[in-house]
A and B are shown apart, each in its own frame.
Chain A
Amino acid sequence: MAIMTRIGLIRLVVIAALIGALELACRTGLIDHRIIIAPSEMASALWTLLASGSLDADIARTLGLIGLVTALSIVLGFAAGIAIHALPRLREALDPFFATYYAVPVFIFYPVLIAIFGLSLMPIVLIGVATAIVAMIIATLNGLDRVPRVLDKVARVHRLGRIATALQLQLPAAAPYLFTGIKLAVSYGFIAVIAAEFILSPAGLGRDIADAYADFNNRRMYALILFLLIVATLINAVLHGLDMRFAARRSGGRA
Chain B
Amino acid sequence: MTATRRAADTLILLVGLVVLWEILHRIAGETAMPAPLSTFAYLVHNLATPRFIANLTTTGLELGYALLLAYGIGLAVGVWLGAHRLSGAVGEPILVSLYSLPKITLYPVVLLIFGLGISGKVAFGALHGVLPVALLTTGAIRAIPPVYLRAARTLQLSPWQTITTVLLPAALPEVFTGLRIGFTVTLLGVLLGEMFASKEGLGAMIINALQLAQGEEMMTVAIVLFAFAALANGLLLFVEHRLRRI
Q: Report the bound CA distance from A102 to B229 in whole Å.
A: 10
Asked if residues A93 and B102 are in contact (CB atoms below 8 Å), the reply is: no
Given A14-B94, A104-B225, is A232 in contact with B102 using a C-beta cutoff of 8 Å?
A: yes
Asked if residues B108 and A213 are in contact (CB atoms below 8 Å), the reply is: yes
Asked if residues B196 and A36 are in contact (CB atoms below 8 Å), the reply is: no
Counting contact residues on chain B (CB < 8 A from A), the size range is 35 or more
Instruction: Name the distance in Å between A192's Cβ and chain B's nearest Cβ.
Output: 9
Instruction: Name the distance in Å between B221's Cβ and chain A's nearest Cβ.
Output: 7
As a 0/1 sequence over residues 221 to 255 of chain A, the CB contacts with chain B under 8 angstroms (1 = contact) are 10001001100110010000000000000000000
Q: Which residues of A contact B226 (CB under 8 A)?
A: 104-105, 108
Q: Which residues of A contact B210 (CB under 8 A)?
A: 111-112, 114-115, 200
Interface majority SS on B: helix, strand, loop or mixed?
helix
Counting contact residues on chain A (CB < 8 A from B), the size range is 35 or more
**Nearest A-chain residue to B236, judged by Cβ:** A103
As a 0/1 sequence over residues 96 to 109 of chain A, the CB contacts with chain B under 8 angstroms (1 = contact) are 11011011110111
As a 0/1 sequence over residues 67 to 99 of chain B, the CB contacts with chain A under 8 angstroms (1 = contact) are 000000000000000000010011101100100
Q: Which residues of A contact B31 (CB under 8 A)?
A: 115
Say whether A55 faces chain B, with CB atoms less than 8 Å apart: no
Q: Report the bound CA distance from A83 to B139 in whole Å.
A: 35
Interface majority SS on A: helix, strand, loop or mixed?
helix
Instruction: Name the distance in Å between B239's Cβ and chain A's nearest Cβ.
Output: 14
Instruction: Name the distance in Å between A203's Cβ and chain B's nearest Cβ.
Output: 16
Asked if residues B105 and A209 are in contact (CB atoms below 8 Å), the reply is: yes
Report B218-235 residues with CB < 8 Å from chain A CB.
Answer: 218-219, 221-222, 225-226, 229-230, 232-234
Which of B9, B100, B109 has the most C-beta atoms of chain A within 10 angstroms of its own C-beta? B100
Asked if residues B184 and A102 are in contact (CB atoms below 8 Å), the reply is: yes
Say whether B191 faces chain A, with CB atoms less than 8 Å apart: yes
Say whether A145 faces chain B, with CB atoms less than 8 Å apart: no
Q: Which residues of A contact B215 (CB under 8 A)?
A: 112, 115
Q: Report the bound CA distance from A228 to B107 in whole Å.
A: 13
Say whether B144 faces chain A, with CB atoms less than 8 Å apart: no
Partner of A199, one of B32, B94, B207: B207
Say whether B37 faces chain A, with CB atoms less than 8 Å apart: no
Q: Which residues of A contact B54 (CB under 8 A)?
A: none
Q: Which residues of B contact A86 (CB under 8 A)?
A: none
Report A1-32 residues with CB < 8 Å from chain B CB.
Answer: 7, 10-11, 14-15
Instruction: Name the distance in Å between A184's Cβ and chain B's nearest Cβ.
Output: 10
Instruction: Name the distance in Å between A92's Cβ and chain B's nearest Cβ.
Output: 5
Report B94-142 residues with CB < 8 Å from chain A CB.
Answer: 94, 97, 100-109, 111-113
Q: Which residues of A contact B86 (CB under 8 A)?
A: 7, 10
Say whether B192 faces chain A, with CB atoms less than 8 Å apart: yes
Given A34-B112, A92-B6, A225-B106, is A187 in contact with B100 using a C-beta cutoff of 8 Å?
A: yes
Partner of A11, one of B90, B107, B112, B188: B90
Given A187-B100, A199-B195, is A116 in contact with B209 using a C-beta cutoff of 8 Å?
A: no
Asked if residues B24 and A116 are in contact (CB atoms below 8 Å), the reply is: yes
**Nearest B-chain residue to A110, judged by Cβ:** B195
Asked if residues A194 and B229 are in contact (CB atoms below 8 Å), the reply is: no
Asked if residues A112 and B101 are in contact (CB atoms below 8 Å), the reply is: no
Instruction: Name the distance in Å between A55's Cβ and chain B's nearest Cβ.
Output: 15
Q: Which residues of A contact B195 (CB under 8 A)?
A: 111, 199
Say whether A89 faces chain B, with CB atoms less than 8 Å apart: yes
Q: Which residues of B contact A35 (CB under 8 A)?
A: 112-113
Q: Which residues of B contact A194 (CB under 8 A)?
A: 102, 104-105
Which of A111, A116, A210, A225 has the most C-beta atoms of chain B within 10 angstroms of its own C-beta? A111
Asked if residues B218 and A115 are in contact (CB atoms below 8 Å), the reply is: yes
Which of A34, A190, A209, A212 has the most C-beta atoms of chain B within 10 angstroms of its own C-beta? A209
Say whether A191 faces chain B, with CB atoms less than 8 Å apart: yes
Asked if residues B192 and A199 are in contact (CB atoms below 8 Å), the reply is: yes
Q: Which residues of B contact A225 (CB under 8 A)?
A: 105-106, 108-109
Closest 8 CB pairs of A and B: A93-B9, A103-B233, A213-B108, A111-B210, A104-B229, A195-B104, A191-B102, A115-B32
- Can you spell out 29 A-B residue pairs with CB atoms less than 8 angstroms apart? A11-B91, A11-B94, A15-B94, A89-B9, A92-B6, A93-B9, A97-B13, A100-B233, A103-B229, A104-B233, A105-B225, A107-B192, A108-B191, A108-B221, A111-B206, A112-B222, A114-B210, A115-B218, A116-B24, A116-B32, A116-B33, A195-B104, A199-B195, A206-B105, A209-B105, A209-B108, A229-B101, A229-B105, A232-B101
